[in-house]
Amino acid sequence: MRLESRRFTSYHVFIAAAVIGFALLAVLMVPRVHAAAPQSGERLVTIHDRGVERGIITKKNTLRDVFTEAGIRLDENDRVEPGLDEKLVTNNYQVNVYRARPIVIVDGQVQQRVMSAHQTPKQIAEAAGIELQDQDEAELLPSTDIVRDGASLRMIIDRALPINLTLYGKTETVYTQANDVAGFLSEKGISLGEKDDMSVEESTPLTANMSLKIWRNGKQTVTREEKVAFPVEQVRDANREVGYRQVKTPGTDGKKMVTYEIVMRDGREVSRKTIQSVVTKQPKKQVEVVGTKLPPVAGPAEILDRINAASRRHGIDANRVATIAKCESGFNPTADSGYYKGLFQHDPNYWPARAERYGYAGASIFDVDAQIGVSTAMMAGGGWSHWGCDPGA
Determine the Cα–Cα distance for residues 353 and 371; give it in Å rounded to an integer: 13
- Would the CA dihedral through 301, 370, 318, 348 be positive or negative? negative
Q: Are residues 380 and 241 in the same domain?
A: no
Of 106, 76, 148, 105, nearest to 114 (Cα)? 105
* pLDDT score of 80: 93
Task: Give ∠ CA 379-382-383 in degrees, rounded to 5.
Answer: 60
For 5, 113, 152, 217, the CA distances from 106, given in Å and listed in that order, are 15, 9, 14, 45
pTM above 0.85, yes or no: no
Give 38's strand partners: none
Residues 125 and 132 sit within 8 Å (Cβ to Cβ): yes
* pLDDT score of 229: 95
Looking only at the bridges linking them, the beta strands covering 101-107 and 220-228 are unpaired
* pLDDT score of 12: 42
* pLDDT score of 220: 79
* pLDDT score of 36: 55
Question: How many domains in the chain?
Answer: 4
Q: Which of 71, 98, 125 is the last residue of a domain?
A: 98
Give the structural domain span for 235: 161-290
Residues 319 and 308 sit within 8 Å (Cβ to Cβ): no
* pLDDT score of 30: 41
pLDDT by residue (tens digit) across 239-288?
887 778 999 999 999 999 999 988 867 656 788 899 999 999 999 999 99
Q: Which of 47, 67, 98 is the last residue of a domain?
A: 98
Q: Are residues 360 and 349 in the same domain?
A: yes
Could you read off the pLDDT tens digit of each residue along the chain, which spans 393 residues?
344 433 334 434 334 444 444 444 443 444 444 455 666 778 999 999 988 999 999 999 999 999 999 999 999 999 998 889 988 888 889 999 999 999 999 999 999 999 999 989 999 999 999 999 989 999 999 988 887 878 779 999 999 999 999 888 788 999 999 999 999 999 999 998 887 888 999 999 999 999 999 887 777 788 889 999 999 999 988 788 777 899 999 999 999 999 998 886 765 678 889 999 999 999 999 999 998 776 676 678 899 999 999 999 999 989 899 999 999 999 999 999 999 999 999 999 999 999 999 999 999 999 999 999 999 999 999 889 899 888 776
Distance of CA 377 to the CA centre of its chain: 33
Q: Are residues 138 and 251 in the same domain?
A: no
Q: Are residues 19 and 145 in the same domain?
A: yes
Q: Are residues 275 and 344 in the same domain?
A: no
* pLDDT score of 3: 40
295 within some domain: no
Q: Are residues 169 and 213 in the same domain?
A: yes
pLDDT by residue (tens digit) across 286-320?
999 998 776 676 678 899 999 999 999 999 989 89
Q: Which helix (H) or strand (E) holds 197?
A: strand 196-198
Q: Which of 265, 290, 315 is the last residue of a domain?
A: 290
329 within some domain: yes
Q: Are residues 14 and 133 in the same domain?
A: yes
Please report, for the domain that includes residue 73, its CATH number: 3.10.20.30
Q: Are residues 42 and 149 in the same domain?
A: no
* pLDDT score of 267: 56
* pLDDT score of 37: 61
Q: Are residues 184 and 247 in the same domain?
A: yes
Of 70, 65, 101, 107, nearest to 83 (Cα)? 65
Q: Are residues 273 and 317 in the same domain?
A: no
* pLDDT score of 21: 43
Q: Is 76 exposed, middle or buried (0-12, 13-18, 19+ CB in 10 A)?
A: exposed
